[in-house]
A and B are shown apart, each in its own frame.
Chain A
Amino acid sequence: MKLLRMAWRNLWRNGRRTLVTVGAMTLALWAMVLYTSLMQGMLGSMESTLLDVELGEIQIHADGYRERPSIWERIEDPEALLEALDETGLRSSARLLGGALVASGEASTGALLKGLRPERDARVSDVHERLDRGEWLDPADGSGVVLGYRLARTLGVDVGDELVALSQATDGSMANDLFQVRGVLQSLSEDTDRGTVFLVEDAFRSFFALEDGAHQVIVRSGEGQELLAATGVVEEAAAASVSGVEVRTWRDLLPGIANVLDSAQAAVQVVAFIVYVVIAIMILNAMLMAVFERIREFGVLKAIGVSPRRVLALILTEGALQAALAIAVGLLASLPTLWFVVSRGIDVGQLGGTAIMGVSMDRIWTGAVSPVTIAGPVFILLFIVGLAVLFPAVKAARISPVEAIHHQ
Chain B
Amino acid sequence: MGEGPVISLRDVSKVYRQGSVDIHALRDLSMDVEASEFTVICGPSGSGKTTMLNLIGALDAATSGSIVLEGRELGGLNKKELSELRRDRIGFVFQAYNLMPVLTAYENAEMVLWVQGVDGKTRRERVMGLLEQVGLKGMEDRRPSELSGGQQQRVAIARAIASNPAVVLADEPTANVDSETAETLLGLMEELNREQGVTFLFSTHDPQVMERARRVVRLVDGNVASDERR
Contacts and interface: CB of A to CB of B under 8 A. Distances in A.
A247 B21 CA distance: 83
A80 B57 CA distance: 92
B77 interface: no
**Range for the number of chain A residues in contact with chain B:** 20 to 34
A401 B86 CA distance: 11
B51 to A, nearest CB: 9
Interface in A5-24: 6, 9-10, 13
Interface string B106-133: 0100011011100000000000000000
Contacts of B111: 304, 306
A305 B102 contact: no
Contacts of A251: none
**Range for the number of chain B residues in contact with chain A:** 20 to 34
A228 interface: no
Interface stretch (A151-159, A233-241, A279-287, A294-302): A294-302
A199 B144 CA distance: 86
B61 to A, nearest CB: 10
A307 interface: yes
Given A304-B87, A305-B115, A307-B80, A296 B98 contact: yes
Interface string A56-90: 00000000000000000000000000000000000
Contacts of A306: 83, 87, 111, 115
B101 interface: yes
B48 to A, nearest CB: 14
A380 interface: no
A6 B107 CA distance: 10
B59 interface: yes
A310 interface: yes
A2 B86 contact: no
Interface in A380-401: 401
B154 interface: no
B59 A6 contact: no
Contact of B59 (A303, A308, A310): A303
Contacts of A402: 54, 59-60
A6 B103 contact: yes
A405 interface: yes
Interface in B88-113: 88, 92, 94, 96, 98, 100-103, 107, 111-112
Nearest to B100: A297
B114 A305 contact: no
Contacts of A9: 102-103
Contact of B87 (A6, A10, A296, A305): A305
A303 B57 contact: yes
Contacts of A10: 102
Contact of B94 (A300, A301, A308): A300
Contact of A302 (B83, B84, B94): B83
Contacts of B87: 304-306
Nearest to B57: A303
Contacts of B88: 305
A304 B114 contact: no
Interface in B8-58: 54, 57
Interface in B163-194: none
A300 B111 CA distance: 11
A401 B102 CA distance: 20
A405 B169 CA distance: 14
Interface in A263-319: 296-297, 300-308, 310
B115 A310 contact: yes
A142 B159 CA distance: 96
B80 A304 contact: no
Nearest to B59: A402
A401 B59 contact: yes
A304 B169 CA distance: 11
A405 B59 contact: yes
B109 to A, nearest CB: 11
Contacts of B83: 302, 305-308
A301 B108 CA distance: 11
A248 to B, nearest CB: 64
Contacts of A296: 96, 98
Contacts of A303: 57, 59, 86, 92
30 contacts: A6-B100, A6-B102, A6-B103, A9-B102, A13-B101, A13-B102, A296-B98, A300-B92, A300-B94, A300-B100, A301-B100, A302-B83, A303-B59, A303-B86, A303-B92, A304-B111, A304-B115, A304-B159, A305-B86, A305-B112, A305-B115, A305-B116, A306-B83, A306-B115, A307-B80, A307-B83, A310-B115, A401-B59, A402-B59, A405-B98
Interface of A: 2, 6, 9-10, 13, 296-297, 300-308, 310, 401-402, 405
Given A305-B86, A401-B59, 4 more contacts: A297-B98, A297-B100, A304-B111, A310-B115
